[in-house]
Each structure stands twice: as C-alpha cells, then as structure tokens.
Amino acid sequence: MKNEILSRIDSPADLKQLSESQLEQLAVEMRNALCNVVANRTAHFASNLGVVELALALHLVFDFSKDRLIWDTGHQIYPHKLLTGRYSEFPTMRQKGGLMGYPNPAESPYDLFMTGHAGCSVSSVLGMKAGDDLRRDKRRAVAVIGDGALPSGIVFEALNNAAGLEKDILVILNDNKMGICPRVGGLARYLDQARVAPFYNELKRDVSWLLNKVPIVGDAVERVLFQAKEMVKASLHGGMLFEQLGFKYIGPIDGHDLKSLREYLEMVKDLKGPVLLHVFTEKGHGFKPACEDPVLFHTPPPFERRDDEVVSVKKSSSRAYTDVISDAIYAAMEVNPQVVVLTAAMCEGNKLQKIRSVFPDRFFDTGICESHAVAFAAGMAKSGLRPIVDIYSTFLQRSFDQIFQEVALQNLPVTFCLDRAGVVGPDGPTHHGVFDNTYMRVFPNMVVMAPGDEGDVKGMLDFAIGHPGPVSIRYPKTGAESIERTVEPVRLGEAEVIDWGRDGILIAFGSLLTNCVKAAARLKGEGLDVGVINARFCKPIDRDTILRAVAEAGFVVTVEESSLLGGFGSAVLETANAAGLRTDHIRRLGIPDQYIEHADRNEQLRELGLDADGIVRTVLAAADRGSLVADEA
C-alpha cells in the first residue's frame, strides 16, 4: 500500500485540510506504516495500533505547537510521531541514529518529555500547567495515560494534587484492558464496571435537566432529588471514583470512532477544572493477529505479513538469561514451598507464565507498582516466606526507598532478580539498567551479585534463597553464554579465578565475563599472559582475591556493564585504597557518566569498548603504561 495521504503530512496543521473520508484513510495508512516498521525489527506495536484515532483526534482539536501534550509511558508514541513531521524518518525507528521508540524532545518540539516509565504524565502536565499559569501563558494541558499505568501510586498523588489546585487539565484514560499483560487488581475491576454502563453521561445530563426544571419547594424535596441523582450514579457510573477525587468524569467513549472522539474533545477542551475523559480502545486495533494476541504483539519479533495475517514470526534461537533465571526460579519453587514470586506487570517480559500457571497461589502480579511490590515482599519475608522480586533493573529504581527501609534496614531475606541489567539496545536511555550496581551496593546488609555466564545462575539463585538477608542478582537482555570450566559452588563473597595471568588480570562482574575470556585468548597472541577473574560479588567483594590481583599484576582492568560511578570498578578501587595499595595501574571499563542512545546492543557495547575488541585495546594500552611505570621506577 502506498501511504499517499500520510506522506503529505508535514505537521498537524495539514490534518485540518482533510475530509472525513481522507482522515479515515489516513488512519489505515498509519497502521500500514506501523506494520512495515515491525516487519524489520522489534518495536512496540499493539499499543500503537490502538491509539491511531486518538492521536488524530487530539491533533485535530488541539494545537500542540502551543498546547501541552504528554503521553504516559511513551511506547505508544508512534502515531504521534507520524503526525508531527517524522514520516520520512519513520523507517529508522529504534535504529542507531534514527527515531527513538519513545518521546524525544531532541527530535521534535511536540515531544515535551522523554518518557519511558509509567505513571508520571499527570504530574508532569500538572507542573507545566501550573508554570504556564504563573507566567500568564494561556495553554491547554493534556495527559494521556493507560489503564495499566493508572494503579501507580504517583498517579493518585497527581490526581489528588490537581483537584486541590483546581487546574484546567485534561487527563485522557486510554482503557484497553491491558498493560503488557492483562491488567490486574481492584482498579481493573472498577474500570470494568464502566463497560457495562456506557450511557451514564446521557443519564447524568437527563438528571441535571430534571433538577433544573423541578421547582424547589423545600429542603426535603432537594434532598430526595439529590439522593436520586446519587443513586443513579452509584448504580450505573464507573467514574464515581474520579468525581469524588474532584475530576469531572466524561465517558466512556469509543476510542476508534474518530468523529465522536473529536466531538468529545471539543466539548471538554475548555472546561474549567480537572477533567478525566475515559476512552475505550482495543490494543492491536486494525490488525487481526495483534487483536487476538495483544501480549505477543506488544513488542513482537520481526514478522512477515500478508494482508491481515502473519505469515511467519522470526524468533531468536538463542536462550536468553531471562529464560535461564525463570527456569531456576521454577526449580526452586518445586523444592521449597516458601519461595514466592512477585512481578510488577511484567509476567510476559520476565518469562514467568509457567510459574503463574503452575503455582498461582505463590505468584503475585502487583501491576505497575514497584514500590508496593518491594514493601509487599518485605512483609512476606517477615512472615517467613522467601520472596523473589523479579523486576527490570530500570523499573526497580522506582522502589529505592522501599529497598532501603522495608528490606535492607530490616535485613529481610528478599531476593531481587534484576532483569535487563546493562544496555538494552533499541529501548534506549529510559530502559538501560545501568544504575543498579550503584544504588544497590550503598545499602548495608545488601549482597550484590551477577552471574558471569549461564553456569552461575542456578547456584546464585539457590544461594540467594538460602541467605538470611537481602540479595540482588543482575543479568542482561541477551542470550546466555557459557565458558568451559567446572563451575565452582557459590559462597558468600567469593570470586572465581578462571585463569591467573603473569602480566595482567581482567576482573569481570557479570556476563561480560565471556568477552573477557575471548579477549584474554586473543591477547596471548600478542604475547601477553592475561588472567580472568569472575568476580561474582560486587558486595561483599572478594577482598583477598582482588587485593592479590592488584598487588601482583602489572595491570588490572575491571569490566562491568553498568555505571562506572559507584559501580564494581569503584568497589575495587575502594578495596585497594583501604589496603594501602597503589591503584594507578587499574583501568575501569563500564558505562561512562552519560546516557546511552538507542541502537543495537552489540553496537552499544562496541562503542563503549565493552566487546572483546574494546577490552583488547584497553589491555594493550594498560600494558604499555604499566611498562613505562616500571621503567621509571
């Protein structure tokens, strides 16, 4: 299909020239463009298909060259990008140097925040509205938030504050009954009530008309009429919660009826005070396979399609660390009935479907509520269970205070499985898990670990479950590799010496161990005998092994897929300094003090010098410097 209309959209202003039939055709072309992107790479898909009409309606009714618009979470930003002058760049989506898969202010003035974590849109748009009002700058303010993000605590903090300030903001609740997986919890059931009462707004208008027409002849009649109105609302209205919070609730309305969407947006855009517009959408709308399996097609692997059918899905043949961890958790749950698993709306991403199915009473999905998940796990640990909190590294940051107070301060046996630790390729800076070494190792009582390869995983998890205090295990979003060796048992604070080198030592914390082994083998061809240590522990660090390496080796290179600020390399320097050893021959490889742009993961590791070639270059430079220092001495 040729995208004849879409290719002519250079800005939202171009939409005003289109007829209703042309707008409908534009929606079809936008979905076609989305299908074309996903045919070549992994990308967020079903969520974007579901907001095509909503994006069109918003840009038709508002002028976001001036007004404010924030898309919560941001992975459903693709239709918005298509309408804001980025169609010609669309084939570069999630590629190095191309469009980001999330909002990006560097790309367009229509993107106000780089959003990738759920729940913050209402707070951000409220802050912008408050700032605009103080500056007497008349702008409308709109936040689009999904029902999956709605349970996040920060959302209700923002809704409460917005109602208290009585600011003129519009919150659009995009309700598709899904996060990545089907939504869970009491709010999910509450929103479902709205689906069986679609005529509330009409009834509300009828009641208002009746109350205005009936003559008031005393307090008793007024009370009766008021109670009648409240009874109608209580029995038929799924939006009472929002009205009680201080929002005008409008909806629910069909999120794929473009004409109706425009009418409602026109109706509410100038209402005073905070307004919540409840919109029903279908995740994957317009592409049958995505509608039938919105979980798979949330971020599907590349696939071939013919018309409205998927011909083939190109799946990776490698076994990922996520699968290895999931299998280890399952095995632990089989033998230990005290082990329970918690996740924050990421059952699919963390590969926990089998655990959810086989152990439903010991599997807990808290929704996108990471702070609650950690405090909840602490309560379970206090009661005698062995909870495993399985959350992406970048999302666990949201529970920093609960890790401190509810877990580490109480020294409770909670195991944290930090998925997607390190760089995560095309998801980019909002999703890289590069800070957990730093934020975990600062807490007393916390044990911080990382498997060097697949062989470390089960031993580490078994150790963590048996440990009397909190443990963090980090692992990357990549295929699990293995190095040939007899895997040593995992003991608290003990590193594993793969090979001791006469000239220098590579100390790896985490899965870049395999790159270090490859680099050491190549360096032997350069005449350098370089050893490799699998650190296993960042905290407590293996003091004896590390100090021996620092004292005996001509150079030491630490390698980690995490922030250099406060990370494993820093722990090595601190350990050497505390022992009074020289440290000028220590080099650290890791993530520098900058945000890493989206690209293929291998491209990112190569640019950071964390692939085998980069490690070889660093060692050769360190070896030259080491010889100069020796000569001067």
Active site residues: 283, 370, 398
Rounded to whole angstroms, the Cα distance separating 121 from 103 reads: 12
CB-CB contact of 284 with 35 (8 Å): no
Rounded to whole angstroms, the Cα distance separating 392 from 289 reads: 27
Backbone torsion region of residue 172, taken as left when φ is above 0, otherwise alpha when ψ lies between -120 and 50, otherwise beta: beta
Q: In what order do the strands lie in the sheet with 275-280?
A: 68-71, 141-146, 169-175, 275-280, 248-254
186: Cβ–Cβ under 8 A, 6 or more apart, which residues? none
Rounded to whole angstroms, the Cα distance separating 603 from 425 reads: 8
Structure tokens at 411: 């020294």
Q: Transcribe 568-632 into DSSP letters.
A: HHHHHHHHHHHTT---TTEEEEEE-SSPPPP--HHHHHHHTT-SHHHHHHHHHHHHHHHHHHHHH
In this structure, the strands spanning 447-449 and 309-313 are unpaired
Smallest CA-to-CA distance from 69 within 140, 148, 161, 173 is with 140
Rounded to whole angstroms, the Cα distance separating 629 from 437 reads: 32
CB-CB contact of 365 with 343 (8 Å): yes
Q: Write down the H helix ranges in 168-280.
A: 186-195, 200-213, 219-236, 240-245, 258-268
3-state class of 483 per DSSP? coil
Alpha-carbon distance values, 210 to 168, 198, 205, 248, 506 (Å): 28, 20, 9, 19, 80
252 cis-preceded (ω within 30 degrees of 0): yes
3-state class of 165 per DSSP? helix
Rounded to whole angstroms, the Cα distance separating 376 from 366 reads: 9
How many CA atoms lie within 13 Å of 26's alpha carbon, on the beta-carbon side? 29
3-state class of 443 per DSSP? coil
CB-CB contact of 587 with 496 (8 Å): no
Structure tokens at 367: 């929704």
CB-CB contact of 253 with 278 (8 Å): yes
Angle between helices 258-268 and 52-61 (to 10 degrees): 40
Structure tokens at 268: 């509410």
In this structure, the strands spanning 447-449 and 537-539 are antiparallel
Structure tokens at 335: 């033998």
Q: For CA atoms 606, 608, 610, 613, give the dihedral sign.
A: positive
